[in-house]
Amino acid sequence: MPGASLLREARPVHSVPGRDRTRALARPASCRKSGCPVHAPLATLDRVNTPYRQIRAAYTADSITVYQAYDPAISEPAIAARRFVEPFRRNRMTWIKPSFLWMMYRSGWAGKPGQTRVLAIEITRSGFEWALAGACLSHCEPGADRAAWSRRLRRSPVRLQWDPERGPRHNALPYRSVQIGLSGEAVDRYVDEWTLDIADVTARVHGIHAALRAGEDVTGSLPAERPYPLPADLAEIIGATRKPPA
């Protein structure tokens, strides 16, 4: 039956047989060891009630999945080592994205030059929250103290920005998704301390994209992303809000 293989791919990731890690989209190592309800198919988000700025991600009690896209020269050694190794460059800012669909927008469903391999990186929640606690927004908020923002911008090894979340066809949604840029100490921690696993999900990305082009509803094939539970102090630091800034 046409599309049957794609329908098989759309099952919850824990039911995928064998050791094909490209099919286990964003499935952390902890979930491969025991059953986990977190990585069930994504439910349709309530676009009316979704806060304007909110982190949504696939996560467990100890880890969170973020996405990056690279060319094979960087991605293949990382996949083999299950951590970033040379020629990955620590002296450049590297951006991590908890939103799968925003990564698809940024990489053109793994079709843009230099972004042909999509990686799902499982990192510790403690490391992720360290990055948030030390982050500086890329742009000064309306009404904020610009001098204080400039001082924090110079000191912080982490940049954070909120961009419109995207649908499967790259349409902008009425709420924001977070991108986190790591440099200096933050990159070293990301590579050496926070990374628990790296999975190549490119084949699954191509399968979902093919189904999308064929006019299929791909909602059930997407990774589960839930609102990430932010302590109030972290929410304030990163500018998470229910409504757009005045």
- Asked, for residue 245, whether it belongs to a domain, the answer is no
pLDDT at 101 over 90: yes
C-alpha atoms less than 13 angstroms from C-alpha of 110 in its C-beta half-sphere: 24
Provide the 8-state DSSP code for 18.
Answer: T
- Asked, for residue 61, whether it belongs to a domain, the answer is yes
Please give the share of the chain, as a percent, with pLDDT higher than 70. 80
pLDDT level of residue 23 (50, 70, 90 thresholds): very low
Determine the average pLDDT of the residues in 164-192: 97
- Mean pLDDT, the chain, whole residue set: 86
* Model pLDDT, residue 43: 42
Alpha-carbon dihedral sign for residues 138, 239, 109, 170: negative
Cα dihedral 103, 194, 204, 179 in deg (nearest 10):
-10
Total tally of structural domains belonging to the chain? 1
pLDDT at 16 over 70: no
> Cis peptide before 87, with omega less than 30 degrees from 0?
yes
The parent domain of residue 182 ranges over 21-32+42-238
- Asked, for residue 196, whether it belongs to a domain, the answer is yes
pLDDT at 18 over 50: no
pLDDT level of residue 46 (50, 70, 90 thresholds): low
* Model pLDDT, residue 49: 85
pLDDT level of residue 48 (50, 70, 90 thresholds): low
List Cα–Cα distances, 241 to 45, 48, 162, 182, 245, in angstroms.
17, 14, 11, 22, 8
The SS3 of residue 241 is coil
pLDDT digits (tens, 9 = 90+) for 57-96: 999 999 999 999 999 999 999 999 999 999 999 999 999 9
- Asked, for residue 229, whether it belongs to a domain, the answer is yes
- Asked, for residue 11, whether it belongs to a domain, the answer is no
- Asked, for residue 8, whether it belongs to a domain, the answer is no
* Model pLDDT, residue 233: 95
In this prediction the pTM is 0.82
* Model pLDDT, residue 245: 77
pLDDT digits (tens, 9 = 90+) for 108-119: 999 999 999 999
- Asked, for residue 226, whether it belongs to a domain, the answer is yes
- Asked, for residue 37, whether it belongs to a domain, the answer is no
* Model pLDDT, residue 47: 59
pLDDT level of residue 45 (50, 70, 90 thresholds): low
Determine the average pLDDT of the residues in 188-203: 98
**Among candidate residues 127, 18, 110, the one with its CA nearest the CA of residue 69:** 110
